[in-house]
Structure 1
Amino acid sequence: MRSSTLYFALAGPIAVRAASGTGQSTRYWDCCKPSCAWNDKAAVSAPALTCDANDNPISDANAVSGCDGGTSYTCSNYSPWAVSDTVAYGFAATALDGGSESTWCCACYALTFTSGSVKGKTMVVQSTNTGSDLGSNHFDLLMPGGGVGIFDGCTSEFGTALAGAQYGGISSQSQCDSFPEILQDGCNWRFDWFGNSDNPGLTFEQVQCPTEITDISGCIRDDDGDYPVFSGAGSSSGSSTSSAVAAASSAKTSSTSSSIKASSTAIVKSEVPSSSSEAEAVGETKASSAQWSKTTVAQTTKTTAQAESHAAQETEASIQTEAPATQTKAATTKKTKAKTRSKAGGCSAKSYTATLAAAGTAVSAASASTSTVAIYQQCNGASDLFPNGALACAEGSTCVYSNDWYSQCQPN
């Protein structure tokens, strides 16, 4: 998909070129440290923040990713959250036509979805990760339960694997109950506000980052003020946020976090250090995550407003995979994560192990590879990604080619 450029007039004589266009989405949550958590990725106030295995902030920019045997993980409050019935905030890994990490790291984009049950809704995301294997104008949305993809940092963080398929993640909302408590709100968000939409299409415009988002990531671009303020009405051309969005957003818990991203939707992010010192320590996996804090007065309290309808079905849950790009992992690349969190305590790996052990065995069995796949799920693929061989579509559907890394079963 080819991006276009919009020009927004400033108070002075300069015009700002805001990235915009038509794009695609996928989902992931791999618990790894994100690419934009490294130093020198872009002109920013500070790299995106990260946490240790107990969800405590890490201030060491050189902390090694948990996906590489280190101690730096995605913070739980990188989970998406609803600002209103039609607006949500969150984080994503991105790849935009004509851009690079220097232009999109910690930049924010207003995504207006054009398909699926989330059609017409808008989500403002901050880019905390990247991936050379992503498609054109691609936003890989961070959401717990979205699947770990090629790189699984969650097992080392929590002591056991998260429920759900490696690609695409869980298939029903009830599976969110087996997740660590700090990830459950973000997991439920997918089935509530997001309507369990499966990789919806979208249009996007670059906007100024809402403070509710940068309070979490701790990362603000030097040029952030050059872009239009998100109006809260599905358009980014307004001069100020709407009162509804401002009111709902101000109640969101201010906390910071970060992570590496490896696509749960089978999108493997390959990262190249941007400085000479980083080059010595080859590339790094990426991941990011966030705690979904609902509107509440207390900074340390989150209320979960979950819809009763469980739209999740295996036909809706995508088990996607994109051919993994060769990814080198850094043992000593620069990454940063200093994060202030309002939530007391962290996610205990021991307590989570006990919880998942009791609830997760049936889930893991259900996510095993099968000989055929349901409508709207991944079909075909390399044998290294599908242990049981290429997957064929179930009766009544056809495997439709999308790109060199991804095909999907669609109704005849």
Structure 2
Amino acid sequence: MCPIEDRAATINRAASPEVTIGICGAGIGGLVLALRLAKLGFRPILFEARTREAALSEGEFLTLASNGMNALRAVDCHDAVLSEGLETRAIELCNARGKRLALVDQSDHLATFGTPAVTIKRGVLTGILIGKCEAEGIVTQFGRRVTKVDNHAHAVTLNFSESAGLAVDLLAAADGLRSFVRTQIFPDYPLPQFTGLIGTGGIVDADIPDTDGVMRMTFGEKAFFGYLKTASHPVYWFDSFPADTPDAVRTLEPKALAAHVRQMHAADPEPNRSILHAVDRIERSYPIFDMPQLPIWSNGRVVLLGDAAHAIGPHAGQGASMAIEDAVVLSSCLADTLDYGAAFARYEALRRPRIARVVKLTRQNASRKRKNSRLSLFLRDLLLPLFIPMSVRASRKLFAYRVDLDPLEENHPVEGGRKDAA
């Protein structure tokens, strides 16, 4: 199996600086797509409705599993992200009384999969990718909100709210869960569906013990809580709680929202309560949505990727990694053929089976966070230690995927062996 850099010399016959590919959305998936397309010889142009400052400050943090970290090698950003992030060496699952239900050891990920899992501030990751785009001379236009998309036979024309329109040869919609491009190209597609869970999180200084690379999670009586702490960093914390509607806490002011979250975890074991005691305000909440399976991800010269094509909740820690993988596979498919329709079809065929596995795992994990009756909590504590080994095996298969080695093969190497050693 040859590395992706070697394959690039043979699969870029379709790439040309004359082929302009617009990318709507400068999130993680869109930025990686731009970097990979430029590396393969295309001319990408990024459009982002937010300002550059907003893009760098939005969100708190995320975890990239080994498959996502390895995928960043395709755009030469792996080392920078590794140096800025926190290695996540294990996940501990506890019940509402603080009793350990399971410990998922990830300390072998460097040796087995080629890189550890890394938790990193979202703004830092975005900054690394934006900086790389700027260093590579990739056109990135912030404050450009798309207001209309026309998918013609020979080009895609875009109108913007505060500037002149533009025509591109192809358009990739990386504009997230509520993709405007998707609504323009597929007006009959279903809307995202609320999952019944709302998440919050943040980074705070709290005087609690170092977890030594272990992300500790608690299935509380009313809500789910997780945190990570190292000696040289503050506490990275997150939670999710059941709600009847996505707007259940939207009207709460930041201090009131913090008080509501503290109340949800009032019966949690320590140090959860101490962490939240240090949180005096929470700026926003994140209702968690699911996306029904879409019939097709492309139409004419427009293609969807990331959350625009398949929303993946946070419950398996794979949302960002799937968007990065999408970008690497899509760019390689485009570089392998002069027929963009065939490239889009191949990209979708390669990605759908893997996305389906991740969505299934994510929904299973989410269902465990909705338990709140005494009986359901008892059954969860009883059965979770039995189910965790199965989830671990499924997750390790996800981690072993090396899209950076051969993006045009749905490679799922045998657990326990690195793909580049096969």
Q: TM-score, normalised by structure 2?
A: 0.23
Larger radius of gyration: 2
Report which structure shows greater RCO (CA 8 Å, sep ≥6).
1
Using the size of structure 1 for normalisation, the TM-score is 0.23
Q: Which has the higher strand share?
A: 2
Structure (1 or 2) with the greater helix fraction = 2
